[in-house]
Structure 1
Amino acid sequence: MGLGMWGYPLVEVRETEKELMQSKTEAQSNDKPHLRSTKEVTGYDINALDGDIGKVEDFIIDDVTWKILYLVVETGNWFSGKKVIISPHWIKDVQWQEQKVTINHLIDEVKNSPEYDSSQPIDDSYQHTLNDYYKKIK
């Protein structure tokens, strides 16, 4: 084991730096416990008010403001693999421990919503169609 500048073992100095960085990270995460990375939330279950509808597959993020515009939901076996997008405004609750997101809509409402096609851009027309659909059902 080599010695550092003032004769302290380098391993000891590195361990102390590691502990300091870890405690800083923990303090920062405790400051805002509601924040999660998109990587962590990917795969969370998505539930409508009356049951399961799928899993979070991806996010659509504004590349200028970094605001999450939509969650991409893979409905898998629920709706024959149809993909839909959900606005964060439609989220009722997030249960972090259970890795579950509940939205303020019913299964049939999501099932009948406009399908999301990742090969097509989300233009104003699609956004209007989507928003009009969800306004109409409420």
Structure 2
Amino acid sequence: MTENAWNYRPSFNYAVGTDLTGYKVEAIDGSIGKVDKHSEEVDDAYVVVDTGVWIFGKEVLLPANTISRIDAEDERIYLDLTKEQIENAPEFHREKHLDEVAYRDQVASYYGHTGGAGPL
């Protein structure tokens, strides 16, 4: 893919201002948790997902471009990723990695996108 990982896909209309906190997150093969934090900034859009007991309570950072659709009525986010892909993603520590450009580039590369970590 050549799109910037840190932008929502132009193929669906993300409604700017929608608070995604608490939305359930669905991988291709099942639920992975709920949105704990999100950003809708241009070139810096992402969701932080609390995976609960699924992967021992760790959080994962997902670039906005990994989201295939958002169902506002059901408060669910759908991903083009499998649970295994998410579980094997670079380990995320919010205090250390959220604003770290090198980590963002690593995550974007892992998910097959260009970096473009945006202004941090």
Please indicate, yes or no, whether the TM-score normalized by the shorter chain is above 0.5: yes
Q: Deviations over 1:103-124 (max 9, x none)?
A: 1100000011112211114322
Return the offset for 1:37.
Answer: 3.3
SS of 1:119 mapped into structure 2: helix
Return the offset for 1:36.
Answer: 5.5
Aligned residues: 99
Would you say 1:76 and 2:52 are equivalent positions?
yes
Residue among 41, 63, 73 paired with 1:87:
63
Q: Which has the larger radius of gyration?
A: 1
Q: Which has the higher contact order (CA 8 A, sep 6+)?
A: 2
Would you say 1:120 and 2:120 are equivalent positions?
no
Distance in 2 of aligned mates of 1:126 and 1:118: 11
Cα 1:42–1:125 change in 2 (3 A) is same
Q: Is the strand fraction higher in 1 or 2?
A: 2
Residue in 2 aligned with 1:133?
110
Return the offset for 1:134.
Answer: 1.4
The amino acid across from 2:73 in the alignment is Q
Distance in 1 of aligned mates of 2:24 and 2:16: 15
TM-score normalised to structure 2 length: 0.72
CA RMSD of aligned residues (A): 2.2
Q: Give the conservation status (yes or no) of the 8 Å contact 2:52–2:58.
A: yes
Would you say 1:45 and 2:21 are equivalent positions?
no
Return the offset for 1:34.
Answer: 5.1
Residue in 2 aligned with 1:55?
34
In structure 1, stretches of 5+ residues that fail to align are: 1-32
Distance in 2 of aligned mates of 1:119 and 1:99: 27
Would you say 1:102 and 2:82 are equivalent positions?
no
Distance in 2 of aligned mates of 1:35 and 1:134: 24
Distance in 1 of aligned mates of 2:106 and 2:63: 13
Identity %: 27
The farther-off stretch of 76-85 and 125-134 is 125-134
TM-score normalised to structure 1 length: 0.63
